[in-house]
DNA sequence: GCACCGTAGACTGTAGACGAAAGACAATCG
DNA sequence: CGATTGTCTTTCGTCTACAGTCTACGGTGC
């Protein structure tokens, strides 16, 4: 076995199995973990909108110094999660009706473009992955496993982004999506069954490389979620 | 004069002239000024792509401590200007051909949507502002004042964003635009005359509230700039 | 002559401390 | 009795110091 080294690979290390190296899990920068923690706390409503975030408090609560907390807050600020008032501190951003609507508009735009690009670029492997996710999602809905269904929904859209092959678009969409999901959490559980039917149609459009149809379907799909948001808001 | 106080304004201060107060220009948070300074240095190519940015060096050069520099670098990282490799420091982001193309794609998308919304929402005041900017731009082009023309071009697009009335969209577009302009700077000087002709057509579409036409025109407009980028790259 | 190892330097990541601005509250003066 | 002003507390903004880690270079053994 060890004698079967590839030609152009002269004695690379000790013939370690290529991908199986555990990569020596490093804790990673502390600021990122603080960022993740805070984002989790915000999205789960543990930190309510408008709440004043005191740096020293958070630092003490997380067992770190103020600096990582500051850097995490900076990042959360640029991404629109907290408002950073000078010389006064950080406050959890308060979602507005108007803003939610704007976010949904932008999301529609980005997702529709992603669907178009996916239809243009996707290979059979990509389509297969979508099929798989869709099947799993339908199973989850059938079993009333809401959490799994929501997660699979996110994965489905992420996969389409991936197939679109535009990292810039993907980055923007990821941010917008996460915020939409924040505003939208109470509503998300309602739409489930219908959502996956629309996904099926979308896959068909991508498979047949029909860019126009894929765009239209995705636009309608996200517009539906938007409408249900507003209906929810009215009640 | 001083006796003419408005009814509902009982002795506000010492009758200071309302808008004429200089507002006591505050230096603002140091990190923001460092951010602006670094962004200026990057966009002007004073800091070249791929260059290693040493915190203590920058701090000393700007006359501040390392901390504001760190926070500025954090923000620049999230906005895609620098790459922050863990335990190794910050490097000015190196633009790729592929990435430039992706950015231009996204820009097209965002600007086109803005044009549509502007066509839907714009009042006569907004149209007048656009007319004014366009006239100024044409004058600048006629006078070969390239810098002013470029600035007015940015102002024109910003005004359309403003008229669209979607702050989320505006935020995303501002980021994308600035980066596009960075990649695109050497090319920008070429397209000038043609650009303002297209602007005229766009104004007409917005005035007549033709959303479809406005979208199409803006898409073609930004696609033209994209094409000239690639032609430039080939030479 | 080549490869490997050890050491030194530099830089980042994190912690703690000091000065300054903003807000709240109470005392004082008209 | 009300408005103003002074003080006081809280919290942010910035600076300095220390520990961990990566890189590069020189020495040593084969």
What are the φ and ψ backbone dihedral angles of A9, each rounded to 5 degrees? Answer: -130, 70
Q: A159: pLDDT confidence band, cut at 50, 70 and 90?
A: very high
Query: Which residues are registered as beta bridge partners of A53?
Result: A90
| Cβ contact B109–A106 (<8 Å) | no
At A22-81, the pLDDT tens digits run 444 556 778 888 898 899 999 998 999 999 999 889 998 888 888 889 889 998 999 999
pLDDT at B169 over 70: yes
- Contact by Cβ (8 Å): A65, A59: yes
Q: Tell me the CA end-to-end span of chain A in Å, nearest whole number.
A: 68
Chain A CB contacts of B114 under 8 Å are none
| pLDDT score recorded for residue A15 | 47
Q: Would you state the CATH architecture of domain A97-234?
A: Up-down Bundle (1.20)
Q: How far is the CA of B56 from the C1' of D14 (A)?
A: 15
Q: Do the Cβ atoms of A109 and B105 come within 8 Å?
A: no
Residue B81 confidence (pLDDT) above 80: yes
pLDDT digits (tens, 9 = 90+) for B174-205: 999 999 888 877 666 667 778 888 999 999 99
∠B69-B70-B71 over CA atoms, to 5°?
95
**Which option is the CATH number for B30-92: 1.10.10.10, 3.40.1350.10, 3.40.50.11030, 3.40.50.80?**
1.10.10.10
**What mean pLDDT, rounded, does chain B reach?**
83
Are A111 and A157 contacting, i.e. CB atoms less than 8 angstroms apart? yes
Residue intervals in chain B for CATH 1.10.10.10:
30-92
pLDDT at residue A234 is higher than 80 = no
pLDDT digit string (tens) for A101-158? 999 999 999 999 999 999 999 888 999 999 999 899 889 888 888 888 888 888 999 9
CA distance A63 to chain B (A): 21
Nearest CA in chain B to A85: B29
CA distance A127 to A124: 5
Per-residue model confidence (pLDDT) at position A151:
86
Q: Two tokens at A123?
A: 């290979």
Is the predicted pLDDT of residue B74 greater than 60, yes or no?
yes
The predicted structure's pLDDT at residue A62: 87
- What pLDDT shows up at residue A167? 93
Q: Where in chain A is the domain with CATH 1.20.120.530?
A: 97-234
Q: 3-state DSSP call for residue A92?
A: strand
Residue A172 confidence class, pLDDT cut points 50, 70, 90: very high
């Amino acid at each position: 076995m060890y004698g079967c080294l590839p030609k152009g690979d002269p004695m690379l290390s000790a013939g370690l199995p290529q991908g199986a190296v555990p990569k020596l899990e490093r804790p990673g920068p502390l600021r990122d973990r603080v960022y993740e923690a805070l984002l989790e706390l915000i999205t789960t409503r543990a930190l309510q909108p408008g709440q004043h975030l005191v740096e020293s408090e958070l630092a003490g609560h997380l067992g770190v110094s103020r600096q990582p907390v500051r850097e995490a807050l900076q990042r959360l600020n640029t991404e629109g999660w907290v408002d950073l008032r000078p010389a006064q501190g950080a406050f959890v951003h308060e979602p507005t009706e108007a803003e939610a609507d704007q976010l949904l508009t932008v999301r529609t735009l980005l997702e529709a473009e992603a669907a178009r690009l996916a239809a243009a670029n996707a290979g059979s492997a990509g389509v297969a992955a979508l099929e798989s996710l869709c099947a799993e999602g339908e199973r989850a809905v059938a079993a009333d496993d809401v959490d799994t269904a929501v997660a699979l929904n996110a994965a489905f859209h992420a996969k389409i982004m991936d197939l679109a092959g535009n990292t810039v678009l993907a980055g923007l969409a990821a941010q917008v999506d996460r915020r939409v999901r924040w505003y939208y959490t109470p509503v998300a559980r309602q739409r489930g069954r219908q959502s996956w039917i629309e996904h099926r149609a979308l896959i068909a459009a991508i498979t047949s490389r029909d860019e126009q149809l894929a765009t239209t379907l995705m636009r309608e799909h996200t517009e539906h979620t938007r409408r249900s948001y507003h209906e929810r808001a009215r009640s």
